[in-house]
Amino acid sequence: DALSPSIAAASILAKVTRDRIMIELDTQYPVYQWASNKGYGVKSHRAGLARDGVSPHHRRSYAPIRNILGA
């Protein structure tokens, strides 16, 4: 990123876009608190998973989610 301004800009745009998607998903699935944790595996997100399981938006390829699903 430091060597290429266009790559740095793309990285920032991707993060902003992802954050906006997570905020929108939070309105549909508030139990995971995605507006505040942006999908990272913090305590509040893990608590939502333990309490309510996996949403259709969780990545099944991610090891912690696979473990919850018993795959």
pLDDT score, position 1: 65
Low-confidence residues in the chain, pLDDT < 50: none
Domain with 26, as residue range(s), is 5-69
If one counts the domains in the chain, the total is 1
Joined tokens for residue 62: 């991610």
Each residue's pLDDT tens digit, 36-56: 999 998 999 989 998 999 999
Q: CA-CA distance, 44 to 23, in Å (whole number)?
A: 15
Note the pTM of the prediction, 2 decimals: 0.78
CB 55 within 8 A of CB 44: no
Q: What is the b/e burial string over 19-52, where b = at least 16 CB atoms within 10 angstroms of the residue's CB?
A: eeebeebbeeeeebbbeebbbeeeeebeebbeee
